[in-house]
């Protein structure tokens, strides 16, 4: 006989009462804490091996005839109690999950609020300075055609930047005309062209974005980095406007104490072109290690939009059925471009560009 089946000492009323009270207590005990409803049902009501079936088989088999009725009544009561308990367990399924090991009384895991990555933060700060001057944001694709990245920006066909030494080009482009070949944009300047083809002046845009160059990574270079481009085109825009705008922007970014100075430079798409330096923010221009004892830090490129760029924009506009709108006799403009990493490194005293991309929480948490 199954040793799990309780013995019934005798069939008198008080023995029956005691035996069924023990069983009722057993059922209550199993359902007082969290219960897996299906396991409970199988254990008590299983057709062949259920406890109720085994016990009633054992007790009824040897029972005297007059004990059948009191036994049967008590089994029915017990069965009812089990069914009610089962219905309760099914109605509260969450308690089964608790049995499976989830303890809702434990403290929850803490999620620290996120912060902007220092590069994005810097990019947004630069963009915000120009938003306050009435500029709006324009964006363009990172996979760009030779036309927008070089040709329309007045790069001659054999310019070294067009070489795969400096530019990451996409595979399988040889069958296409040179201007249609795809590459990873090397600067945000192609968005100047895209915007002017789409819209007539006045234009005032800033273009934040990712750019790519076939450069080896070192302390200050990364093959993928970020720029913010600016373009302003209207009637009577002069080099003085360019100087005033960038002088204001540098003061807004680095503090009102910084000075700017403009050096002659060259870009195919601006004429004249200039490199802009700011007075060293670490030594206030006295000369230190950071500014290589010059007192100045070189920060961005800029210039007046080259008439050849306007000509190529109007050529596209006319080809698309739009009116020509960039007659260099009527409109002028300036453009500028700056590296976001370089600005962030100067602002926060970061000496390794790679720290921005490492995902090292000890570095990133300093910006929280
Ligand atoms: N596109 C240039 C660069 O990446 C920067 C620049 C932008 C210069 C606009 C002049 C005007 O170096």
Cβ(270) – ligand 1 distance below 6 Å: yes
Peptide bond before 289: cis, by omega within 30 degrees of 0? Answer: no
User: Are 114 and 368 within 8 A, CB to CB?
Assistant: no
Q: What is the pLDDT of residues 314-341, one digit of tens each?
A: 999 999 999 999 999 999 999 999 999 9
Q: How far is the CA of 300 from the centre of ligand 1 (A)?
A: 8
The pLDDT of 87-106, averaged and rounded, is 70
Q: Has residue 92 got a pLDDT over 60?
A: yes
Cβ(190) – ligand 1 distance below 6 Å: no
Cβ(302) – ligand 1 distance below 6 Å: yes
Q: Which of 189, 303, 338 to mutate to test the pocket of ligand 1 (most atoms within 8 A of CB)?
A: 189
Residues 6 or more apart from 69 whose CB is under 8 A from it? Answer: none
Q: Please provide residue 27's backbone torsions phi and psi, each rounded to the nearest 5 degrees.
A: -65, -45
CA 109 from chain centre, in angstroms, equals 21
Q: What is the pLDDT of residues 147-203, one digit of tens each?
A: 999 999 999 888 888 887 799 999 999 999 999 999 999 999 999 999 999 999 999
Q: Indicate which residue's Cα is closest to atom 6 of ligand 1.
A: 337
Cβ(335) – ligand 1 distance below 6 Å: yes
Q: What is the pLDDT of residues 288-305, one digit of tens each?
A: 988 999 999 999 999 999
Cβ(149) – ligand 1 distance below 6 Å: no
Which of 21-25, 26-30, 93-97, 107-111 has the least mean pLDDT? Answer: 93-97
Q: Which of 148, 267, 302 to mutate to test the pocket of ligand 1 (most atoms within 8 A of CB)?
A: 267
Q: Indicate the pTM of the whole model.
A: 0.72
The pLDDT assigned to 3 comes to: 54
The pLDDT of 121-131, averaged and rounded, is 98
Per-residue HEC secondary structure of the chain comes to CCCCCCCCCCCCHHHHHHHHHHHHHHHHHHHHCCCCHHHHHHHHHCCCCCHHHHHHHHHHHCCCHHHHHHHHHHHHHHHHHHHHHHHHHHHCCHHHHHHCCCCCCCCCCCCCCCCCCHHHHHHHHHHHHHHCCCCEECCCCCEEEHHHHCHHHCCCCCCHHHCCCCCCECCCCCCCCHHHCEEECCCCCHHHHHHHHHCCCCEEEEEEEEEECCCCCCCCCCCEEEEEEEEEEECCCCHHHHHHHHHHHHHHHHCCCCCEEEEEEEECCEEEEEEEEEECCCCCCCCCCCCCCCCEEEEEEEEEECHHHHHHHHHHHHHCCCCCCCCCCCCEEEEEEEEHHHHHHHHHCCCCHHHHCCCCHHHHHHHC
Q: How far is Cα 250 from Cα 198, in angstroms, rounded to an integer?
A: 30
Residues 6 or more apart from 150 whose CB is under 8 A from it? Answer: 159, 161, 162
């Amino acid at each position: 006989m199954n040793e799990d089946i309780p013995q019934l000492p005798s069939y008198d009323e008080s023995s029956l009462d005691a035996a069924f009270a023990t069983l009722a207590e057993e059922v209550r005990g199993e359902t007082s804490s969290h219960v897996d409803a299906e396991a409970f049902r199988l254990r008590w009501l299983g057709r062949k091996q259920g406890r109720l079936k085994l016990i009633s088989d054992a007790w009824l088999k040897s029972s005297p005839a007059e004990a059948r009725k009191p036994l049967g009544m008590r089994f029915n009561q017990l069965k009812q109690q089990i069914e009610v308990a089962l219905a309760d367990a099914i109605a509260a399924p969450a308690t089964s999950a608790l049995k499976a090991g989830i303890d809702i009384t434990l403290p929850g895991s803490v999620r620290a609020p996120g912060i902007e990555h220092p590069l994005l933060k810097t990019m947004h700060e630069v963009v915000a300075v120009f938003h306050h001057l009435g500029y709006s944001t324009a964006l363009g694709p990172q996979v760009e055609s030779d036309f927008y990245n070089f040709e329309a920006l007045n790069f001659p066909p054999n310019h070294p930047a067009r070489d795969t030494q400096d530019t990451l080009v996409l595979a399988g482009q040889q069958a296409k005309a040179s201007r249609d070949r795809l590459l990873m944009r090397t600067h945000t300047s192609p968005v100047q062209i895209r915007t002017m083809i789409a819209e007539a002046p006045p234009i005032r845009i800033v273009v934040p974005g990712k750019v790519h160059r076939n450069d080896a990574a070192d302390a200050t270079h990364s093959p993928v980095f970020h720029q913010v481009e600016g373009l302003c085109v209207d009637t009577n825009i002069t080099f003085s406007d360019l100087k005033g705008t960038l002088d204001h922007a540098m003061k807004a970014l680095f503090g009102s104490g910084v000075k700017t100075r403009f050096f002659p430079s060259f870009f195919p798409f601006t004429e004249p072109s200039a490199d802009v330096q700011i007075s060293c923010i670490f030594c206030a221009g006295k000369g230190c290690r950071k500014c290589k004892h010059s007192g100045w830090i070189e920060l961005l490129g800029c210039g007046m939009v080259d008439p050849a760029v306007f000509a190529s924009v109007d050529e596209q506009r006319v080809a698309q059925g739009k009116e020509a709108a960039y007659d260099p006799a009527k409109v002028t403009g300036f453009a500028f471009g700056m590296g976001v990493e370089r600005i962030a490194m100067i602002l926060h005293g970061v000496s390794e560009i790679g720290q921005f991309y490492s995902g090292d929480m000890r570095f990133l948490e300093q910006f929280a």
